[in-house]
Structures are given as structure tokens and as C-alpha cells.
Structure 1
Amino acid sequence: MKIGCCCNMIATQKDGIGFEHAKNLIELGYDYIELPLAQLMALEDDDFLKIKESLKLFGIKCKTCNNFFPANIKLTGPAVNESVVKDYVVRAVGRASQLGVDTIVFGSSGAKNVPAGFDHKKAWTQLVNLLNYVDTVVRPLGIVIAIEPLNKSESNIINTVKEGCDLAKEVDSPNIGLLVDYYHLMVENDDMYSMIPFSDKIFHVHLANPEGRCFPSPTDTANYKEFFSLLNKIGYNRRVSVEAYSNNIGQDATVALNYLREIIA
């Protein structure tokens, strides 16, 4: 497995991207970085080009992006503007492709949360229709979408592994699959073994300590070993991104990387 880090969770700059940590993370030994697509989309063309050129200059791989949609682009409810959504999808996927990204994470709670009083079945259909369109955009570029179930404190739709897989299966595309996030899995009290029937649909993994959403370490009470053992059992051998907060990124990122490599080995 390749181990990466989501930069937006440790961002210190106003843009919220966290690219200021990218070079250091690679020097520490991380295999790649994961950048937030919605925040990348907020950049002017020149600023985006600087990040693109810096990735090449420093030999940094950005193979995954999280935060597909910003909260102001609504994906469910009566206020959905399909032309705005489709235009955003084309432009966002285009920017991701320029960076060499092959996996985009679809969590985006602010964008997809169902408005109060709106029929959840209709909202589900809206997400199916959205992903059917997204599929037509990403498939020619060789990019896959990983649906991320989020715990109920963040999202009111797609909260479990099964629900994420049900959505992916309804879209029925080889380019639409699932992200399993250990943090959300534990906070939601979802059964990690529920991923076994959907092993062929798991495209990506996120990881953080369920207590405080911080970087994993050997002193945590979380059962990371059981989680990775299960990933091995189902044949998962793709990427795992640490998506966590930190007050001491150099120390926390180093401890986490060494610990995870030990578990994987």
C-alpha cells in the first residue's frame, strides 16, 4: 500500500489547501499528497499553475483529491442548478487531471446534505443522476470517483459503507466506487466487516484516530491492526491517506508514517 497525507487538514495558509506542507511530507517519506479539489478550484489560473509547476519541480505526486464540491454548489434539494453543477464538474475534473490525479473523493457534506423537509428518495436520485454525469466526464480521463460515507454529525445522507456501495452500484460504472474512512467508520459505529461484500468497489482509504481526528500513533486505543488486516484479507492494495489534524505536523506525520509502515509490513 502507498501512504499519503491530506494536506487541507493541516493547512495554515488562507487558501486552505495545505500545499505549504507538501515538500516536507514527501521528504519525510510519504508516497504522495492529497489536495482538496474545491479549494484548488477557488484559485486563480496563475496560482493553480504555480502548484502544478511546483509538483513537477519537487517530484511530488498528487494522485488523489478530496473535497470534490464546495458547500455553495448544492447537489440535493430544490435549489440544484444543473448547468452550474455540470460546468463545475468539467472544470474541476479538468484541473485534477492536469495534476495527474486518478482518484477524486466525493464526500462534500456541505454540497450534498439534504435540505430540511426535502424527500431523501428524491435526493438519492439526484446523487445518482449527478454521478452518472460525472462518470461521463471522468471515464475518458481514466479518473475514478470514490464515494465517502460520512458520520451523521457531518452528513445526513450516505453514512455507512453499505449506503455508499448501494449508491455506487446504482450508478453501475467501473469508475464509480467507494472510499472507506476509518475515522467516520468508527464514529458512526459502522461495522468494518461490512466492506467485505463490496471489496471490488473500494477505491481509496482515509485514516485518522477516532479520538480527536488526529494522526495515528502507537499509543492510540484504536484497532488499526484489525482494520489493515481486513484490508489485506479483501485484497486491497491501493492508497491510504492520513486525513487528520495536527498541532505539530513534523512530529505527528513522522510517528504516523513509521507506525503505519510497521503495521502494513
Structure 2
Amino acid sequence: MKNINVLIGCIYCLLFLSFVSKSFAQQIPKLGIVSSISRDSIIHAAGFKYIGESVSNMISPALSINAFESNLEKIRNAKTKILSCNVFFPGSIKIAGPDVDLAKVLTYADGVLSRANKAGVKFIILGSSSARSIPEGYDKEKAKSDFVKTCAELAKLAAKHHVIIALENLQSSETNFINTVRDAADVVRKVNNPSFRLNADIFHMMRENESPEEIVKAGKLLAFCELAEKEKRTLPGVMKDDFKPYFSALKRISYSGYLFIEGKIEHPEVEIPFAFKYLTQQLTEVYK
């Protein structure tokens, strides 16, 4: 009888330890994909809960009130949540360098962020390669100092409208300003506003041969993450890229926020479901 009680006690102990282990296991990042809202059904069926759209398509101040209201209806009826919009600024509105018209920048941004709030869009991704490119030979330190000041003003508007701006690192073939997570994180630190955070784009990190360690150094500045395969910016699984070193870095900072695919989609019915499964498998291997 005594041996049976000991055995039962051991079983309960193992079950308790298993429960504790599962309870303290890190939650994997929440998966989304940048695509048109017209693919909502395919994206939802694949397993994604979030879509990233573009400012110009959904919430730009240039859209008429009727067009914006129509978009709001699409957002309300979508099976997946429109969580983010990218391409914050068009190339015609400079946000870095000598030709910045701050009043114009802030007026436009206020319109975007106001509509983002009405649409329930939580994140505005600040990539905008053309808008932030600076003239060749221009003083990068001055450009960065001025950019920090501009971003500080943008952060105030984001706070007013309860939206988060996420600054994205972009590869040097797209822009000559802020090409790494390290540089983007430095801007975010200097802005020092919870409404202005970091978007670490792993695709651009790989293109710039930037170490996953920079994600660890950025730490709690990170509020968003994007990726695609390195060679042709394909969806995860097309070329079988291994993202696990970057996922390990995310795990080290206990990141369980948003991870969005932003890549070229040629065969959505096939590539989107496979990308969800492919990423989920790699994330599960790392976060287990």
C-alpha cells in the first residue's frame, strides 16, 4: 500500500511539473502578414489573425471621406484584424535631410494617425524609404539629430491618437538612411516615447548581414517584427530559409509580440498557408 501511495505521489509530482513547465513556457509571437484586405479569407483560413495593409490604400488623408468610410466597412467585415499599415509617408513628403517641411509632415501625419485610430489600426510602420532618404554627401549626424526631433513630434501625435509608430530598419539598396536595427534602435532610444517604438525587419537585417544579437541589444524597444526570405523576398518556406537564429534572439528578450511576413506573393492560395505552417514550426522549435 505504501509503495502505491509513493507511486501515486510521483505521478502527481510529474503532472504538476509538466503543468508548471507549460505555464511558464514563452508564448510564441503572434503571426500576421502584409497583404491586401481582399485576401482576407485566404489569410484567415491559413491561420493568420492579423493583416498589415498600407496607409495609401486604407487611411491616407488623400482618400475621400466616402472612400475612407468604405474602407472602414471592409475592416469591420474582415475575418482578420487590420493591425498595421505601412508606407507611412509618400516620397513627396520628406522626413529627413535638408528639405523637411515640418508643418507639412505633422499635418499629414495627424491625418493618418487620426484615421488609424478610427479604423482600429494599432501600428503605423515607419519605413518610407524615399521620404527618409537624404542627399548624397549630406551630413548623416545632422540628418539623424534632426530626424530624432521630427520623430519626437510624430510620437506626440501618435500618443494623442492612441497609435504606435514603429520605426523600421531598411536595407541600403532601398535608402541611404537608417539601414540597421542598431541605427533604428538608437533613434527610438533618443525619442524616448512609448508611442514610438522599433520594428526589427529580419529580411533587411539579413540583407545587411546584421547579427541577431542586435535584437537582443534593442530589447524592450521592440514592438513589432517583420520578415521574408533573404534572396528574393519570398514568403517563408519558398526557399526554406532558416530564421531560428533570429527567433532565438526574440526568445532571449521574451518577445511575444507581433511577427509579420512582408514578402512577394505569387501563388497566395499555396504560399500563404504554407508560410503560416513553416513559421509556426520554426517558432515552436525555438520557443518550446
Name the TM-score, length of structure 1 as normaliser.
0.91
Q: What secondary structure, in the 3-state scheme, does the structure 2 residue paired with 1:253 have?
A: helix
Identify the residue that residue 4 of structure 1 maps to in structure 2: 32
Map 1:43-82 to 2 at 5 A.
43-82=63-102
Q: Which runs of 4+ in 1 moved over 4 A?
A: none
Within 1, Cα distance between the matches of 2:52 and 2:238? 23
Residue 249 of structure 1 aligns with an amino acid whose one-letter code is P
Identify the residue that residue 48 of structure 2 maps to in structure 1: 30
Deviations along 1:16-59, whole A, 9 cap, x unmatched? Answer: xx232233212322111001114431432212211211121234
Matched, 1:85 2:113: no
Within 1, Cα distance between the matches of 2:51 and 2:282? 20
Identify the residue that residue 19 of structure 1 maps to in structure 2: 37
Contact 1:76 1:115 in 2 (8 A): no
Cα distance, 1:219 vs. partner? Answer: 5.0
Within 2, Cα distance between the matches of 1:93 and 1:162? 26
Identify the residue that residue 107 of structure 1 maps to in structure 2: 127
Within 1, Cα distance between the matches of 2:148 and 2:239? 41
Contact 1:34 1:65 in 2 (8 A): yes
Cα distance, 1:234 vs. partner? Answer: 1.2
Identify the residue that residue 243 of structure 2 maps to in structure 1: 224
Contact 2:178 2:184 in 1 (8 A): yes
Identify the residue that residue 114 of structure 2 maps to in structure 1: 94
Unaligned runs of 5+ in 1: 8-17
Count of matched residue pairs: 254
Within 2, Cα distance between the matches of 1:73 and 1:254? 37
Identity score, percent: 28
Cα distance, 1:211 vs. partner? Answer: 1.2
The RMSD of aligned alpha carbons is 1.5
Identify the residue that residue 155 of structure 1 maps to in structure 2: 175
Cα distance, 1:83 vs. partner? Answer: 1.6
Q: What secondary structure, in the 3-state scheme, does the structure 1 residue paired with 2:112 have?
A: helix
Within 2, Cα distance between the matches of 1:80 and 1:20? 35
Cα distance, 1:136 vs. partner? Answer: 1.0
Q: What secondary structure, in the 3-state scheme, does the structure 2 residue paired with 1:177 have?
A: strand
Identify the residue that residue 273 of structure 2 maps to in structure 1: 254
Matched, 1:170 2:186: no
Deviations along 1:110-160, whole A, 9 cap, x unmatched? Answer: 100012343222211221111111111111333222111111111111111
Identify the residue that residue 11 of structure 1 maps to in structure 2: none
Deviates more, 1:180-189 or 1:32-41: 32-41
Deviations along 1:180-210, whole A, 9 cap, x unmatched? Answer: 1111000001111122122100110101000
Within 1, Cα distance between the matches of 2:209 and 2:56? 28
Unaligned runs of 5+ in 2: 1-28
